[in-house]
């Protein structure tokens, strides 16, 4: 009986450790290529956090192939008040389809309901470039370490109806809770073509 309990405890510990990395993608990691919403092919192909110890908020913009062995994460972000960051997964949806030019792997999230699970919990950013009190949520899809090759596809974001936001991106300020901006689908529905190469 004691041996059974010991085995049970060991199995539970292993399962907990194995489950832990699922949420680890919600924190920036080194040796990871992030395919973001502000890419300009030929100018910015991907970004990385190159020195998290001394500069936890500094992104390094990269051009050219992603080094072999890097993890790849497709990401979109949302900045708002705590309420706005909490509500966004129910208001603004993201889907994607990415394929390798020759062979597999292929990735697809084709239904909005399936994409909701990739939102991180809301968190206070602490980023000095954002207004004090800004909260965020990340839509991060970890693709893992990919085989060499060229990958292309689309990421689509859409809102079925107007939704409230308290982050004024034009003036870079947070608004009072009683005065949200009603974001219109025509301003926020878009599809972005993405392409990246993983080096040999």
pLDDT digits (tens, 9 = 90+) for 35-80: 998 777 778 889 998 877 777 777 889 999 999 999 999 999 999 9
Contact by Cβ (8 Å): 63, 42: yes
Contact by Cβ (8 Å): 85, 72: no
How many residues are there in the chain? 200
CA dihedral 136, 142, 145, 147 (to 10 degrees): -120
Task: Supply the pLDDT for residue 17.
Answer: 30
pLDDT bin (cut points 50, 70, 90) of residue 28 is confident
Task: Supply the pLDDT for residue 26.
Answer: 67
Distance CA 29, CA 16 (A): 21
From residue 51, alpha-carbon distances to 16, 29, 31, 59, 72 in Å are: 29, 9, 10, 9, 17
The predicted model scores a pTM of 0.82
Task: Supply the pLDDT for residue 59.
Answer: 84
- The per-residue pLDDT for range 4-26, each reduced to its tens digit, is 333 333 333 332 333 333 344 56
- The per-residue pLDDT for range 137-192, each reduced to its tens digit, is 999 999 999 999 999 999 999 999 999 999 999 999 999 999 999 999 999 999 99
Domain ranges of the chain: 27-198
Residue 94: its H or E element: strand 93-100
């Amino acid at each position: 009986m004691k041996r059974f309990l010991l085995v049970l405890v060991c199995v539970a510990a292993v399962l907990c450790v194995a489950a832990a990395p699922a949420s680890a993608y919600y924190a920036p990691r080194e040796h990871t290529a992030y395919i973001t919403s502000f890419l300009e092919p030929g100018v910015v192909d991907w970004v990385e956090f190159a020195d998290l110890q001394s500069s936890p908020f500094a992104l390094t913009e990269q051009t050219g192939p992603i080094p072999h062995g890097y993890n790849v994460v497709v990401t979109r972000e949302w900045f708002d008040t705590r309420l706005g960051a909490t509500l966004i997964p129910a208001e603004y949806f993201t889907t994607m389809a990415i394929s390798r030019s020759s062979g597999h792997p292929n990735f697809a999230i084709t239904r909005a309901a399936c994409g909701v699970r990739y939102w991180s919990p809301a968190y206070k950013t602490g980023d000095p470039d954002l207004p004090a009190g800004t909260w965020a949520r990340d839509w991060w899809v970890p693709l893992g370490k990919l085989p060499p090759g060229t990958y292309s596809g689309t990421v689509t974001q859409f809102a079925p109806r107007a939704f409230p936001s308290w982050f004024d991106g034009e003036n870079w300020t947070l608004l009072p809770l009683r005065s949200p901006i009603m974001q219109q689908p025509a301003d926020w529905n878009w599809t972005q073509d993405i392409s990246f190469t993983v080096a040999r």
